Amino acid sequence: MPVAERVAVEPVAAQAGRRMKLLSKEVFLRYDGRRPPAAGFITYVSKTQPVLMHCHGWEDYSDGYDDYSVSVSDDNGNSWSAEEVRWKSRLVPEGRIRYAEPAGCGGLGRKRPG
């Protein structure tokens, strides 16, 4: 069954061009008995603070995902807020509108277009 894993690596080795060393590995998102998790992303959302955002969804069927949620960590991933569903499918007369994983976009500090 699919799971999401958090992996900690030694950043100094990566910056020095050496092979990274695995420091820890933890399963933090498991099959809930109904739907397997759909891997999303984890990204920093602050230039100056260790604030992370984790986004993931749930698989309804092959290539059919729903209920994308966001959790936030203010302590570099040591603890996380409760999940908040941000993107959920909805029925329309023609069928169901589904949302795909939103991209974790870089460019912190840049103005958004529009």
Domain ranges of the chain: 32-97
From the list 104, 51, 112, 60, the residue with the least C-alpha distance to 80 is 51
- In single-letter form, the type of residue at position 3 comes to V
d(Cα 114, Cα 5) in Å, to the nearest integer?
36
Structure confidence at residue 108 as a pLDDT band (50, 70, 90): low
pLDDT digit string, tens, across residues 6-48: 555 555 555 566 776 777 777 777 788 899 988 888 888 888 8
Structure confidence at residue 81 as a pLDDT band (50, 70, 90): very high
* pTM, full prediction: 0.65
DSSP letter at 26 equals: E
